[in-house]
Structure 1
Amino acid sequence: MSLKFNAGDLSIHRIIEQETTFFPALELFPTLSPDLLAENRDWMRKSNAIDAGDVLILCFQSYVVRTPHHTILIDSCIGNDKQRPARPKWHQKTDDTYMRGLNAAGLAVEDIDFVMCTHLHVDHVGWNTRLEGGRWVPTFPKARYIFGKAEYDYWTEQNAKAEVPPFADSVLPVVEAKRADMVGHDFAIGDHLRILPTPGHTPGHIAFAMGKAKDDAVFVGDIMHSPIQLQHPELSPRFDVDPVQAAVTRKNFLERYCDTDTLCCTAHFPSPSTGKIRRKGGGFSCEAV
C-alpha cells in the first residue's frame, strides 16, 4: 500500500499514527440498529471497516500536501506525552510512529509551512505541540497554524467553563507562541487551498478543498468517520455536537462531490482512506483510485 499519491499538481502523503479498533459500531452510532448493521456487515468486514466483533476499525492520520508553493499539514493527530486517561491507546504515548512516518515522506518538522486543523478535537491537534523542558512548544517551528475562528471561539468558551485538555496543551501554547491565525471562511492559501464550511460535528468544523482552479482533493476531517455513513448519511456518531446538522452537512457534501474527479481524503476511514465519491444504490461509496 502506497502512502503517497497525486491529485492535479498536488503531492499528498498520509502520515498514519494509529490504525486500530476503536468503538463498537452500535455504540459509536446511537441510531444504528442491529438490523441495519447486519445488512452492512459483510461488505464492511471485506473492506476492513469492522472486525469480527462488530468493532469499528478507524485510522488516525495526518495528510501532508505539497503544492507548487507550500507544504501543508492537515490535522495533527494524537501526539505524545499527552494526558488522555479516557483513551488508554493515547494516554502519555511516547512512540516514534508519527515522526518516522513524517521522515519516511522525506519531511522534517521544519519543512511544514502551514498546519491546518479541520476542528480542535483531541485526535486532530495532538502533534500541534511537543513537550520540551517541561512545557508545550509548537512542533512545527516555522509553520503558521490555521484555526477556524468559529471553532476557536467555541473551544475558548468551553475551556473557560472547565479546562479542555487538548485545547490547553495543543492549541493555547501555539497561540501563546504567536504562531496561530484565526481565520474566517474566506481564507485561502494562494490559489491552492480554500475553506469549505462543514458544521455539525463541531460548530466551526471546516473542510479544505485543494487544487488550482478546481477541487483536485478535499480533506474532510470528521464529516464522516466510517464507510457505513456513505451508505447511510443519516448516521451521526455520538461525538457530534449537532447530529442533525452533521447529517445535513454530510449529505450535502456527498452530493456536491459525487461523480466528480475530486479525491476525497478522509481522516478516519481504514486504509486506503481515500477515493472518489460515487453513487451506489440509495447511498454513496468511496471508490479507491
Structure 2
Amino acid sequence: MQTITLGGVDITRVVEMHAPVAPVADIFPTATPRMWREHESWLAPDFWNPRTDDFIANAQTWVLRSEGRTILVDTGLGNDKDRPHMPAWSGLRTDFLDRLRAAGVRPEDVDVVVNTHVHADHVGWNTRLVDGEWVPTFPRATYLIPRADFDYWNPAAGRAGRGALGGIGVDQASGIMFEDSVAPVHRAGQAVLWEDGYRIDGQLSLEPAPGHTPGSSVLRLESGSDRALFIGDLVHSPLQIAEPDCDTCLSEDQEAATRSRRRVLEQAADTGALVFPAHLPGHGAAEVRREGGTFAIAGWAPFSRTH
C-alpha cells in the first residue's frame, strides 16, 4: 500500500530512487558507531547497512490530495541534470513521471508544488528539458518556494551556499541547480516566494524550520483529529529521532537545524502527528513519543516498505 488517508487528505508515496548514499560517518559526523550499533535492531536493514556501514535513503515525492487539489511535496532529483558535486545524481534518466502517472497524476493535474527547501534532491523535477530549454514540469502548478532559500541560492545575490554534500565546487554546483530547477519556474511566473508562513488550504500550511537551509520548512497537516508533519530534511535517518542532537554534514547551520528538529519532534510527540521525513525508505513515516530527553518510534506508517 502506497496511499493512506489522514482526515480529508489522501497521501501517496512516489519513489524516484532507492539507494545507499554514503558511509554513515561521512553524513552524520557526530553520530558514534555505538549509536548505530545500539539501534541496529530497527535501523537495519531499511535505513542502515551494518555490513557496508552505508546510509540508505529514498529520493521521493509525497502526493497529497486535499480539497480537490493535487499537491506535490518535494520533487526529487530530476532527469538530465548536471550535478558536478554528486556524480550519482548527474544525467539521470529515471521513470519518475511514469511512476507519478501510475499513481494517477499527470503533470498537468498538479495544482501546487511544495519545495520544503532548495537542495538539488528536492527541486529536480520542478523542471524538465524540452528542446534544450528547462521548462516547468507541471505547467498549471503554483510552486511554493521559501524566499530565504531562493535568495540564498540565487547566484545573482552573490552569496552562494555550501550546497548539498559540501565539497569542492559547490558554489558552481549550487548555481547550476538554481538555474536549471528554480529560476525557470520563477521566470515562468509560477513561483510564490513565501515568508514567515503560508496557508495552502484549510488543512495544509507551511511554517519555517530553518537550519538545514535558511528557508527549510515544515508542511503541517491538520484534518479532523488527524495530524501530520512533512519535515523535509530535519531528519535524514530515524537515528536522529532517538539521537536528535546528531545533525548531518549537509546543513548550512547545524545548531539551528538541531533546534528546529527538537522543536518539531516535540510538537509531533505532543500532538500524535505522523512524521514524514523527505528521504526515509522502509515505511516512510513514523509516529514518535517522548523518551526522557529524547524521542522514540511509537509506530510506523502503514505504507508498504521500500527496500
Alignment check: 8 A CA contact 2:229 2:268 kept: no
Are 1:131 and 2:143 counterparts? no
The equivalent residue for 1:208 is 219
Runs of 4+ in 1 over 4 A off after TM superposition: none
- For 1:209 and 1:99, the matched residues in 2 are separated by 26
Q: CA deviation at 1:282?
A: 5.0
Listed as ranges, the gaps of 5+ residues in structure 1 are: none
Deviations 1:133-163 (A, max 9, x none): 0000000000011111112111125863554
Separation in structure 1 between the aligned mates of residue 26 and residue 9 of structure 2, nearest angstrom = 37
What do residues 169-223 of structure 1 show as CA deviations (whole Å, max 9, x unaligned)?
A: 0000111111111112232112122112111100111111023477622111001
Q: Which residue of 2 aligns with 1:180?
A: 191
| Distance in structure 2 (CA, Å) of the matches to 1:282 and 1:187 | 31
Q: How many residues align?
A: 286
Asked if residue 244 in structure 1 is aligned to residue 255 in structure 2, the reply is: yes
Instruction: Give distance in 2, aligned partners of 1:269 and 1:284.
Output: 17
| Equivalence for 2:39 | 40
Counterpart CA distance in 2 for 1:34 and 1:230 is 16
Please, what TM-score do these two structures have when normalized by structure 2?
A: 0.88
Say whether residues 1:193 and 2:204 are aligned partners.
yes
Distance 1:182-1:119 versus aligned 2 partners, 3 A rule: same
Q: TM-score normalised to the size of structure 1? A: 0.93
In 2, are the aligned partners of 1:260 and 1:276 still within 8 Å (CA)? Answer: no
The equivalent residue for 1:288 is: 300
* Structure 1 CA distance for aligned equivalents of residues 71 and 216 of structure 2: 18
CA distance in 1, matches of 2:157, 2:41: 42
1: CA distance, partners of 2:152 / 2:86:
23
Query: Is the 2:114–2:143 Cα contact (8 Å) retained in structure 1?
Result: yes
Asked if 1:150 is matched to 2:148, the reply is: yes
Deviations for 1:78-112, whole angstroms, at most 9, x for unmatched residues?
A: 0000011332332101121x112201111100110
Matched to 1:59, the amino acid is N
- RMSD, aligned α-carbons: 1.8
- 118-127 or 163-172: bigger deviation: 163-172
Deviates more, 1:19-28 or 1:81-90: 81-90
What residue ranges of structure 2 are gaps of 5+ in the alignment? 160-170, 302-307
Is the Cα contact below 8 Å between 1:260 and 1:277 reproduced in 2? no
Equivalent-residue separation in structure 2 for 1:214 and 1:171 (angstroms):
36
Contact 1:62 1:77 in 2 (8 A): yes
Q: Return the alpha-carbon distance in structure 1 between the equivalents of residues 114 and 188 of structure 2.
A: 16
